[in-house]
């Protein structure tokens, strides 16, 4: 019998997943899997969740949002674990799962893990820390961890949007230097995002040409502009029409250095990231993920 470690965040996405544990375990058992559940109890419990995994395990199933998946990937790397990951996207923000076409449906997620395909996908890495979907800094980059968890559980992604609009009056341009390949960009920016997938914060076409299998990251940076232009740009983001906007830098690379004369934190997958300067790269096809079968 195959063995799967089932890790779940009991508070992610209003805590709805924990009420469906019996359904999940039943589905796995019917497909010939023995389930070993692990309930996360804090930021440092992910290492405990994976530390006892051995060659008897054939997969890890994880329930939560982008931040939970981020924590899992980094814990797996610290503990030298290389198992395929099955995702139950039951967090507030599930951008990586959206990009991978993984639905928010318990039965379908179970089927993907038991009957789907396994592909190797890229991971970003910034100052030695992995990210699966996005590394960002500047305006709105810290909205995910500034937003009250009760508000997130009640309103979902709308809580991020409300918090984001609240932050707009605090706009301050940041002098940044971006170095990639043989190019240098120095400009005043409000925000930059380095994306592995195509969406961030629920904006599904943030990087419309992105692929998690191409060995490249998509960089989207917003130039300093007046408030009316920024509001218009946000509407373009919602419509996926921002690429080509004169207030936007957009390029692809597998290596990027970002520095500034100001010191501030980055955000990785909705969690606090390292402080500037940032050295960002790609680990090509470094993570195994279950995806829906094409058959």
Find out whether the peptide bond into 128 is cis, omega within 30 degrees of 0.
no
Task: Name the pairing type of β-strands 174-180 and 183-195.
Answer: antiparallel
Burial zone of 213 (CB within 10 Å; 0-12 exposed, 13-18 middle, 19+ buried): exposed
Which segments of the chain belong to CATH 2.60.200.40?
129-284
Q: For residues 173 and 188, is the Cβ–Cβ distance under 8 A?
A: yes
Tokens of 211: 């692929």
SS3 133: coil
Tokens of 19: 């009420």
| pLDDT at position 288 | 98
Which segments of the chain belong to CATH 3.40.50.10330?
2-115
| pLDDT at position 154 | 42
The gap between the terminal CA atoms of the chain, to the nearest Å, is 25
Q: Cα(49)–Cα(108) distance, rounded to whole angstroms? A: 24
Give ∠ CA 257-258-261 in degrees, rounded to 5. Answer: 135
Q: Could you tell me the CA-to-CA distances from 173 to 75, 149, 276, 282 in Å, in that order?
A: 35, 28, 16, 28
Q: Cα(43)–Cα(36) distance, rounded to whole angstroms? A: 20
| pLDDT at position 237 | 66
Average confidence (pLDDT) per 10 residues, the chain, 295 residues: 92 80 96 96 87 94 94 96 96 89 95 96 98 86 47 44 52 88 94 91 82 96 77 70 83 97 88 94 98 79
| pLDDT at position 10 | 87
Give ∠ CA 66-67-72 in degrees, rounded to 5. Answer: 95
Query: Which CATH architecture group holds 129-284?
Result: Sandwich (2.60)
Domain range 2-115, CATH class = alpha beta
Residues 6+ apart with CB under 8 A from 271: 67, 70, 71, 144, 145
Q: Describe the crossing of helices 106-115 and 21-30 by its angle, rounded to 10 degrees.
A: 30
| pLDDT at position 173 | 83
Q: For residues 144 and 201, is the Cβ–Cβ distance under 8 A?
A: yes
Q: For residues 24 and 110, is the Cβ–Cβ distance under 8 A?
A: yes
Q: What is the pTM of this model?
A: 0.87
Element (H, E) at 13: none
Residue located via tokens 């009640």: 154
Q: Cα(285)–Cα(264) distance, rounded to whole angstroms? A: 30
Number of C-beta neighbours around residue 11 at 10 A: 16
| pLDDT at position 160 | 46
Is the C-alpha dihedral spanning 39, 122, 277, 208 positive or negative? negative
């Amino acid at each position: 019998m195959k063995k799967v470690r089932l890790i779940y965040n009991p508070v992610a996405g209003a805590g709805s997943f924990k009420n469906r544990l019996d359904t999940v375990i039943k589905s796995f058992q019917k497909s010939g899997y023995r389930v070993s559940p692990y309930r996360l109890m804090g930021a440092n419990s992910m290492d405990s969740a994976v530390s006892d995994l051995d060659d008897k395990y054939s997969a890890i199933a994880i329930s939560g949002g982008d931040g939970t998946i981020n924590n899992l990937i980094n814990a797996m790397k610290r503990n030298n674990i290389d198992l395929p990951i099955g995702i139950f996207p039951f967090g507030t923000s599930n951008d990586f799962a959206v990009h991978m076409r993984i639905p928010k449906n318990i039965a379908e997620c179970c089927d993907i893990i038991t009957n789907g395909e396994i592909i190797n996908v890229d991971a970003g890495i910034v100052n030695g820390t992995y990210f699966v979907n996005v590394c960002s800094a500047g305006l709105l980059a810290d909205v995910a961890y500034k937003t009250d968890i009760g508000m997130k559980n009640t309103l979902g992604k709308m809580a991020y949007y409300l918090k984001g609009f609240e932050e707009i009056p605090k706009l301050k341009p940041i002098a940044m230097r971006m170095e990639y390949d043989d190019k240098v960009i120095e400009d005043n920016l409000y925000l930059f995002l380095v994306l592995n997938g195509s969406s961030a914060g629920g904006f599904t076409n943030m990087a419309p040409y992105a692929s998690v299998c191409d060995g490249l990251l998509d960089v989207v940076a917003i130039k300093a502009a007046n408030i009316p232009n920024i509001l218009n740009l946000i509407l373009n983001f919602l419509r996926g029409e921002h690429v080509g906007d004169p207030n936007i830098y957009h390029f692809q690379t597998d290596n990027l250095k970002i520095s500034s004369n100001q010191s501030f934190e980055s955000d990785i997958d909705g969690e606090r990231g390292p402080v500037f300067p940032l050295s960002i790269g790609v680990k090509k096809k470094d993570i195994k993920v279950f995806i829906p079968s094409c058959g």
